[in-house]
Amino acid sequence: MKRMMIAGNWKMNKTDEEAIELTSELVKLVGDVKEPKVVVCPPFTSMRSVRDIIKDSNICLGAQNMFWEESGAYTGEISSLMLKSVGCRYVIIGHSERRGYFGETDEKVNKKLKSAMKHGLVPILCVGETLGDRDRGISKDIVKGQVEKAVKGLDLSQVNEFVVAYEPVWAIGTGRPATAEDAEDMISFIRSLLVDAFGDKVMDKIYLLYGGSVKPDNIAEFVSQPTVQGALVGGASLSADKFASIVEKSKV
């Protein structure tokens, strides 16, 4: 059976009070769901609040970013050790907003992945081309470069789980998702890159997600594709009803 995951990226949204409200709703709506695996990634300021509310449910806690050093004079940064200490299990790395606004290069993504994995966090690695890349017909070259540089030197035989989200930049927050067929085409390409790098066996540990304007009315098309194992959801994860509906429609 295909293993599935739905992860919500709240981005820079929700005060602590609002995060508590949203999480409490989610626990009521999807707290018992085991398949798909449900992950929420609140802002750092609400990680403890969210952790306390989801602790007796099946919902898992994720973060939206981290720095690769363990501690030290890095004002404003958060380490994998710190994330672990608040019960975090997943961490989004290389989101296009971090790449675009905060200068996150493939080399930095690689360092973050290594640090996350060293400390037992499961990375949700984001890759995807821009509209310009797509117009130039180089989407696969871009994604290949991002994947290969990100996983350089990693030992996936040592981890239990690893997540890659294909998120075309032009589809994020635009209401203009990729077609399910295009998502499947790129995700099966990513799968082949990972098989080349790590062998067939590691695929049991990997979730391959699609992200970009996923909503309750389009999730079914994505998850019915043979290689797509769920979604990374931005905007629609801010509404408990919408997110719960996406989770429900991803049950296989």
Residues designated as active site: 95, 167
Q: Which residue is nearest to ligand PEP (CB)?
A: 234
Q: Does 100 bind ligand PEP (CB under 6 A)?
A: no
Q: Does 116 bind ligand PEP (CB under 6 A)?
A: no
Binders of ligand PEP: how many residues, by CB under 6 A? Answer: 13
Q: Does 173 bind ligand PEP (CB under 6 A)?
A: yes
Least distance to ligand PEP, CB of residue 124, Å: 9
Q: What's the rounded Cα separation, in Å, for the pair 157 and 67?
A: 23
Piece of 83-91, 186-194, 218-226, 234-242 that binds ligand PEP (CB under 6 A): 234-242
Least distance to ligand PEP, CB of residue 151, Å: 20
Q: Does 232 bind ligand PEP (CB under 6 A)?
A: yes
Q: Does 199 bind ligand PEP (CB under 6 A)?
A: no
Q: What's the rounded Cα separation, in Å, for the pair 33 and 54?
A: 12
Q: What's the rounded Cα separation, in Å, for the pair 242 and 237?
A: 7
Range 3-62, binding ligand PEP (CB under 6 A): 9
Range 209-228, binding ligand PEP (CB under 6 A): 211-214
Considering beta carbons, is residue 114 or 242 the nearer one to ligand PEP?
242
> Using omega within 30 degrees of 0 as the cis cutoff, is the peptide bond preceding 36 cis?
yes
Q: Does 161 bind ligand PEP (CB under 6 A)?
A: no
Q: Does 235 bind ligand PEP (CB under 6 A)?
A: yes
Least distance to ligand PEP, CB of residue 212, Å: 5
- Structure token pair of residue 35: 């398949």
Least distance to ligand PEP, CB of residue 174, Å: 7
Considering beta carbons, is residue 78 or 124 the nearer one to ligand PEP?
124
Q: Does 233 bind ligand PEP (CB under 6 A)?
A: yes
Query: From the CB of residue 202, how many other CB atoms can be counted at a distance below 10 Å?
Result: 16
Work out the end-to-end distance of the chain between its first and last CA atoms, rounded to an integer number of angstroms. Answer: 8
Backbone angles phi, psi at 231, to 5 degrees: -145, 150
Q: Does 94 bind ligand PEP (CB under 6 A)?
A: no
Using a CB cutoff of 8 Å and minimum separation of 24, what contacts does 93-97 make?
A: 93/65, 93/66, 93/123, 93/124, 93/125, 93/126, 93/150, 94/125, 94/126, 94/127, 94/146, 94/150, 95/9, 95/64, 95/65, 95/126, 95/167, 96/126, 96/128, 96/167, 96/169, 96/172, 97/11, 97/172
Size (the chain), residues: 252
Q: What's the rounded Cα separation, in Å, for the pair 208 and 163?
A: 6
Considering beta carbons, is residue 147 or 214 the nearer one to ligand PEP?
214
Q: Which of 104, 133, 167, 184 binds ligand PEP (CB under 6 A)?
A: 167
Residue ranges in contact with ligand PEP by CB under 6 A: 9, 167, 172-173, 211-214, 232-236
